[in-house]
Chains A and B, each alone.
Chain A
Amino acid sequence: MLTREPNLEIDDLSRSPGQLGRRISLFYVLAIVIFVILIGRLWYLQVMNNELFIERAEQNRTRVLSIQARRGTIFDRNGEILATSQPSYNIVISRKDVRDIDDIADMLTVNLTIDREWLKRRFENAKFEPKYESIVVKEMASPSDVAWVEAHRYEYPMIRFEEAPRRSYPLGMVAAHVIGYVGEVSRSELNDTKSPFSKENGFKLGDIVGKAGIERTYNEILSGQDGERTVIVDSVGRIQREISVKPPVPGRDLYATIDMRIQRMAEAQTTSMPADRGVIIVSDPRNGEILALVSHPAFDPNLFSVRAKTNEGREEIRDLYEDPDKPLYNRAIQGSYPPGSTWKLLTSVAALNENVITPDDSRVQDGGIQLGNYFMNSLSNLGMPDVVTAIALSADGYYYRLGIKLGVDRFEKWVKLFKFGEKTGIDLPRESSGLPPTRSVKENITRNVLKRRKLDQGGVWSEKDDELVRRESHWTDYDMAASSFGQGTNASTPIQLLRYVAGLSIGGQMHTPHLLKRAAGGTDRFGRLQNETYYIDKGTYVVPMSPEIQEIVRRGMWQAVNGSGTAAAAAIPGFDVCGKTGTAQVASNDKAGAKNKDHAWFMSFAPRDNPELAMVILTENAGFGGKQSAPRARPIYEEYYRRTRGLPPLVSEGDLTKENTPGDSISGEGEKRPATGLPSRR
């Protein structure tokens, strides 16, 4: 093997056992040192840090899965279901066993009727979900789906079903803005400490919370305590077995003040609005309970809870957001509109209280007025009417002069007493406060307009410009005249006007409009017991007015409906409806067209003595209040009147039109009357 044997053997010591022994003893030392190190390390890991690693091993293998609690049911005041949670099942699949979706896609597509493309996308998206989570392949599985999964447990152990209550709204679009809808809490809300659904408040990603309406305001009442399932998982998150289960506790039931009978009548009235936009709110003036609230157009809340996960559903939601009529926007509390002539009652009450006019001597000149070099036209010219007639016939010229006589200081005082420009405090999210007709509002608006104009031209805002603003926004007689009949800078929400008319109807007692009647006792989110809860009105206040003044307001409003006033279309024999119409200019006359037609208002209450209902109707861009809004009030009152007084209900639409036509209305009688009954179309 070797070519040449080395022949020099000077250092051949290997045969000497002593030498070899010494060399080899080096290996004994090396081996022992290494094993001492290894055993030392074992001691360190297993004995010294045992507890730490036991804990980490537990964290490794156990998972706490949350079981969604059923939300409380929302009822109307009579116990009709507005929102409920239905047991529903999700079909889920544990990810690890499905290396390639193609393997089982066909099987799932056929047996569980799942869209194949959707399933593929779902698996793509799931790549970014936390590791242990299983993939939901079908939500709201049908009983037959669940049965199929159950039957194929051994064949496909990776497919299972999980309970997940689904919110459902049996009435669809009816009362949608009152009820609202639910959805998964958003990331931004979780991170915002000021939001009601922040992490600090115990919310986590994936929690279902109210997004709008009662669902949102009373989320704390409706939410139950989620249950927990502790399971053992393997390294890829497959559930091996269950260790313990803490069942979820359902949320508390909630009774809203809404009366579905009135709500349905109101809904029916909104469907025939010419621009397909408008508001009807009905309340009980004695306590502020809202009996009906419609903001038209509306949306179907089921879209968010049921269909949001499908592509069609997502598209429908996108359509809702892009709809120029903004169906998701609650016009009743978020929309600000010029109130038009409905405001004349405030001016009347203010003038009477400030003794500008008295109950006995309230005659003021009506008709157009020359203000400097501007002539302000009036549609009416009744000579020297008294205040009752001025209200009943909505005499514009009367209020131009009355406002100027009253003066801006006293006028503003009464705007503030009525709390215009402030939120009513209704228990719905995102209420807007509107803009009251005051000098500071005018100044702010003027400043904003000038500032924007100047900055757009590249200028710099200076002291001098502030001076200009003060000059420009000087409160003129024209401002006063316009403000006194609800034009000018005035923008109020329908709910503010409802509180106003309700308060006027009972002598100035202003209740906070609200939707919560009572919440049943039960357990809250944190498992604490809660007693039955009732609404407590903390925002109630009084606008001072003497019985004489109240009587004048009532008479004016009664005559508007039952005399020969503007609102005759709302009259119901026997029920003494009192009302005030308003026709609010949206744009200056030269811009007027179909799109910018006036907003038609009608605010009312009934009956005249001891009122039971107060109502505000806004028909957007429709025209005269007396023509477009007052007639819509009548079927609503009528239904209530007949029901509560034990009269036979109206049989059909035809009868209604024939029997109840008010004789001497100044509103055009030729027009079609709004249909009654359930909304059959949007």
Chain B
Amino acid sequence: MFAVNRRYIKDFDWKLLTVAVMIASFGLLEISSAEPVSGLWKRQLVGIIIGLVAILVTTTIDYRIIANHYGLILYWIGVFLLGLVLTPLGKKVNGNQNWLDLGPVGFQPSEFAKLFTIVYLASYLSRFRIPQVDLRSMKSWPAKLILEEIVVRWIFPWVKIILIWALPTGLVYLENDTGSALSYISFLGGMFLLLAINWRWIVAGLVTILIVTALVFPLRVIPYLKSCSGYKCERIRAVYWPELAGKRFRYQNDQAEIAVGSGGIYGKGLRGSTQGTLGFVPEVHNDFIYAVASEEWGFVGASLVLFGYLFIILRLIWIASDASERLGSFLVTGFAVLLLYHVTVNVGMVLRLLPIMGIPLPLMSHGSTSVIATFFGLGLAINVRLRRFVN
């Protein structure tokens, strides 16, 4: 099983892993600089080490075996854990019921459930062919048979995809974790794009969405968002119409913005953060770690981190395009889109471009589950890369 040979070492994507470990280490440094409770960085370090071990272990197993043989099991484990969160075993953190309280260790199943859903969806989609119903050849068929043919061959496969996707998404949504629910949409969209749907359909879909948005947004959505109540609306207003938002909701955005903005070009240096260490920025070691990093390392450091993420994401897309068959492409694309979503939403919310949505910054935010899940995903990509040549 543990086949350490020269080819494994040669084909292993060391660049991807190096950049990821660098970002994770930088995250570790920032956690130690800003942590409100001392010693948090140690727990993060444990997470990183477990993540690295997970990469080594998973890369020895062919990803096709993982996806096709264990995909369904992993998927149901993910769904089961998500369901468990909704039972009294679950714990509410910051308004989202997305934690499992396992005594000394907390566990956030949604991070793994996302990946497991991607794995199973990739496995399913890789074998999925867009059904074509040839009505001409069915001319002579009885109507009942035509209907059955349409339902069974055409509608049912799509429904199944939607069901596979909707089950965990619905559970996450029930956990009040809108940010994670939206992430399911992101990777589903990304993987759909890879399905050989006709280009015309894609363009037509995008144009329709654009026109509907252009019509509905100014007339219905914006007035609604400006007046609706509830913390989600407040968080949206805090970004786009701060004067209409409650002070309490504006606070986090304001403070993160001040942290980033006061960093300047070169930053205030390690442990130079005042916004973070004096407690103005909330969740500083967690969802807002990027705010402290930007404050301490300025534009230079903050954009360097972004380039690191960009490198990883572009490299993942490259791995997906270079994969030996459909499964690998779907798998890595799904993960790349998920990563892109996380980085965009987290950095976007820190920079006051997007509303605050409890999405951690992969690799940097404090949270062992998230780090291990991210490394697990990277491990799958490296796995695909290792086996890009058809044996």
Which A residues are closer than 8 A to B by beta carbons? 1-2, 4-15, 17, 19-21, 23-28, 30-32, 34-35, 37-39, 41-43, 45-47, 49-50, 52-54, 56-57, 60-61, 232-236, 240
Contacts and interface: CB of A to CB of B under 8 A. Distances in A.
A28 B294 contact: no
Interface residues of B, number: 63
Given A8-B153, A41-B351, A42-B302, A47 B264 contact: yes
Contacts of A52: 261
Contacts of A43: 299
A380 B237 CA distance: 91
Contacts of A10: 132
Contacts of B160: 2
Contacts of A4: 152
Interface in B180-204: 190, 193-196, 198
Given A24-B321, A49-B261, A12 B280 contact: no
Contact of A45 (B261, B278, B310): B261
Contacts of A38: 306, 344, 347-348, 351, 353
25 contacts: A1-B123, A4-B152, A6-B129, A6-B130, A11-B196, A14-B326, A15-B326, A20-B329, A24-B317, A27-B337, A31-B340, A41-B352, A41-B353, A42-B260, A47-B264, A47-B299, A52-B261, A53-B258, A60-B275, A60-B280, A232-B274, A234-B278, A234-B280, A235-B280, A240-B278
A31 B302 contact: no
Top 3 nearest A-B pairs by Cβ distance? A53-B261, A235-B279, A57-B262
Instruction: Give the one of B123, B152, B314 with max A CB within 10 A.
Output: B314
Contacts of B320: 24, 27
Nearest to A62: B274
B72 A1 contact: yes
Contacts of B351: 38, 41-42, 45
A27 B325 contact: no
B17 interface: no
B313 A31 contact: yes
A50 B306 contact: no
Contacts of B263: 46, 50
B262 A12 contact: no
A275 to B, nearest CB: 59
Interface of B: 72, 123-124, 127-134, 152-153, 157, 160, 190, 193-196, 198, 255, 257-265, 274-275, 278-280, 294, 298-299, 302-303, 306-307, 309-310, 313-314, 317, 320-321, 325-326, 329, 333, 336-337, 340, 344, 347-348, 351-353
Contacts of A15: 325-326
Contacts of B255: 60, 235
B196 A2 contact: no
Nearest to B337: A27
B306 to A, nearest CB: 6
A12 B196 contact: yes
A138 B384 CA distance: 70
B219 to A, nearest CB: 26
A60 B347 contact: no
B278 A2 contact: no
Contacts, number: 160
Given A20-B321, A24-B194, A39-B306, A46 B157 contact: no
A46 B301 CA distance: 11
User: B interface, by DSSP: helix, strand, loop or mixed?
Assistant: helix
Given A31-B313, A38-B351, A46 B258 contact: no
A53 B260 contact: yes
B196 A8 contact: no
A105 B190 CA distance: 59
A19 B127 contact: no
B258 A50 contact: no
Contacts of A20: 194, 321, 329
B350 to A, nearest CB: 10
Nearest to B71: A1
A593 B337 CA distance: 100
Nearest to B123: A1
Contact of A57 (B72, B157, B274, B344): B274
A46 B196 contact: no
Contacts of B193: 23, 26-27
Contacts of B262: 50, 53-54, 56-57
B278 A233 contact: yes
Given A6-B129, A235-B278, A46 B310 contact: no
B158 to A, nearest CB: 11
B6 to A, nearest CB: 27
A32 B127 CA distance: 30
B347 A46 contact: no
Contacts of B152: 4
Contacts of B333: 24, 27
A127 to B, nearest CB: 15
Nearest to A236: B279
A3 to B, nearest CB: 8
B340 to A, nearest CB: 6
A72 B353 CA distance: 57
Given A30-B340, A37-B353, A232-B278, A42 B294 contact: yes
Given A8-B134, A17-B321, A60-B275, 8 more contacts: A2-B124, A19-B196, A27-B190, A32-B314, A46-B263, A46-B294, A57-B261, A235-B280
A231 to B, nearest CB: 12
Nearest to A52: B261
B306 A6 contact: no
Nearest to B194: A23
Nearest to A54: B262
B68 to A, nearest CB: 8
Given A23-B194, A34-B340, A39-B306, A28 B299 contact: no
Contacts of A28: 314, 317
A29 to B, nearest CB: 10
A625 B189 CA distance: 105
B194 A47 contact: no
Given A47-B265, A235-B278, A6 B157 contact: yes
A232 to B, nearest CB: 7
A23 B337 CA distance: 14
A27 B194 CA distance: 10
Given A42-B302, A57-B259, A235-B278, A50 B344 contact: no
B301 to A, nearest CB: 10
A234 B265 contact: no
B275 A46 contact: no
Instruction: From A11, A27, A232, name the one whose CB has the most chain B CB atoms within 10 angstroms.
Output: A27
A127 B58 CA distance: 56
A122 to B, nearest CB: 25
Contacts of A14: 194-196, 326, 329
Contacts of B134: 8
A5 to B, nearest CB: 7
A52 to B, nearest CB: 7
Contacts of A234: 278-280
B185 to A, nearest CB: 15
Contacts of A2: 124, 127, 160
Contacts of B326: 14-15
Given A6-B129, A8-B153, A233-B278, A45 B260 contact: yes
A21 to B, nearest CB: 5
Contacts of B299: 42-43, 46-47
A49 B262 CA distance: 8
Contacts of B132: 8, 10-11
